[in-house]
């Protein structure tokens, strides 16, 4: 394995771009490969077996492109597949953890709200966080069906998105939450609207920067850090429709980028529902 090999990052869709931007910020010299499995988003309503199979297939693809580390930029895939990925692949696998720990430190009211997919809220990882920090603070999990779809459709501030967010955020405020954890990587793209609804006295936090720091540590420990003076590149793939992905990824990445089809690059196997 070589320090100049790329880092592979994937998500059920475009949400993981919120993690990718923190990775780019923390590691400017790295080449980054990003897979949006948008043909199968949201993962939240799929079976664990399905999410595991997709995560394995995408990781195989990224490893075949010489990835030196994999970032599972999806809380739902982390909950459903990280143990399997770590047992099957020898490259370091870095995964998400909702920012419950910093939220527990930050809250003054003692109530934190966690916005996530229903699957994340019942995952072992989250149940563990709940047990670990739930004794000191009240942790209120809020499932948010529909939000991933809004981000995938590029609707970050329209009426429907606002109505969904009000439905999910206002009850948490009524419970006394002064800190909101974004437990899904799609949600940071909704952070301005969430902040507007919650008001300036409420902290809205996510774990993307912490994941980028963890990736930095793992690469450093394995002597796999690319020279920070070089200019890293990004490559994007989607399993979804290119005419939708191309403008959406460019908008969220804040730069015109080329998005390739996973289908034409790796053949039908990876794109076929499993």
Tell me whether residue 76 or residue 239 sits nearer to ligand DGL (CB atom).
76
One residue of 38, 55, 59, 76 binding ligand DGL per CB under 6 A: 76
Q: Is residue 41 a contact residue for ligand DGL (CB under 6 A)?
A: yes
Task: DSSP for 184-251, please give it.
Answer: STTGGGGHHHHHHHH-TTSEEE-SHHHHHHHHHHHHHHTT-PPPTTS---EEEEESS-HHHHHHHHHH
d(CA 79, CA 97): 9
* Dihedral sign, Cα of residue 114, residue 115, residue 116, residue 118: positive
Max CA separation in the chain (angstroms): 52
d(CA 14, CA 244): 11
Shortest reach from residue 36's CB to ligand DGL, in Å: 10
Q: Is residue 22 a contact residue for ligand DGL (CB under 6 A)?
A: no
Choice among 20, 33, 39, 74 that is catalytic: 74
For helices 208-221 and 17-26, the axis angle rounded to 10 degrees is 50
Q: Is residue 129 a contact residue for ligand DGL (CB under 6 A)?
A: no
Q: Is residue 188 a contact residue for ligand DGL (CB under 6 A)?
A: no
Q: Is residue 207 a contact residue for ligand DGL (CB under 6 A)?
A: no
Q: Is 184 a catalytic residue?
A: yes
- Phi, psi (degrees; rounded to nearest 5) at 46: -100, 165
* Residues contacting residue 232 through CB under 8 Å, at least 6 positions apart: 24, 27, 28, 29, 30, 31, 32, 226
One residue of 17, 33, 35, 43 binding ligand DGL per CB under 6 A: 43
Judged by CB under 6 A, the stretch of 73-81, 121-129, 250-258, 259-267 that binds ligand DGL is 73-81
Tell me whether residue 6 or residue 15 sits nearer to ligand DGL (CB atom).
15
Shortest reach from residue 73's CB to ligand DGL, in Å: 7
One residue of 184, 215, 263, 270 binding ligand DGL per CB under 6 A: 184
One residue of 6, 8, 9, 11 binding ligand DGL per CB under 6 A: 11
DSSP-derived 3-state class of residue 94? strand
Choice among 184, 193, 219, 249 that is catalytic: 184
Residues of this chain that interact with ligand DGL (CB under 6 A) are: 11-12, 15, 41-44, 74-76, 117, 120, 148, 184-186
Catalytic residues: 74, 184
């Amino acid at each position: 394995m070589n320090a100049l090999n790329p880092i592979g990052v994937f998500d059920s869709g475009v949400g993981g771009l919120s993690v990718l931007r923190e990775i780019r910020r923390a590691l400017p010299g790295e080449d980054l490969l990003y897979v949006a499995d948008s043909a199968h988003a949201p993962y939240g309503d799929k079976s664990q077996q399905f999410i595991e199979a997709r995560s394995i297939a995408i990781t195989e693809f990224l490893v075949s492109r010489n990835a030196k580390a994999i970032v599972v930029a999806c809380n739902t895939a982390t909950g459903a597949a990280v143990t399997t990925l770590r047992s099957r692949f020898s490259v370091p696998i870095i995964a998400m953890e909702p920012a419950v720990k910093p939220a527990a430190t930050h809250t003054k009211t003692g109530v934190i709200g966690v916005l996530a997919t229903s699957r994340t809220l019942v995952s072992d990882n989250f149940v563990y966080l709940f047990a670990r920090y739930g004794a000191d603070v009240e942790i209120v999990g809020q499932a948010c069906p529909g939000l991933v779809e809004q981000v995938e459709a590029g609707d970050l501030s329209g009426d429907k998105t606002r109505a969904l967010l009000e439905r999910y955020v206002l009850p948490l405020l009524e419970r006394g939450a002064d800190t909101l954890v974004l437990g899904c990587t799609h949600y940071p793209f909704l952070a301005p609207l969430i902040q507007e609804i919650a008001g300036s006295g409420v902290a809205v936090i996510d774990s993307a920067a912490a994941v980028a720091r963890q990736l930095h540590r793992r690469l450093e420990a394995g002597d796999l850090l690319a020279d920070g003076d070089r200019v890293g590149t990004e490559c994007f793939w989607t399993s979804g429709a290119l005419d939708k992905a191309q403008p959406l990824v460019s908008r969220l990445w804040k730069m015109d980028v080329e998005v390739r089809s996973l289908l034409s690059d790796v053949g039908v196997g990876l794109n076929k529902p499993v």
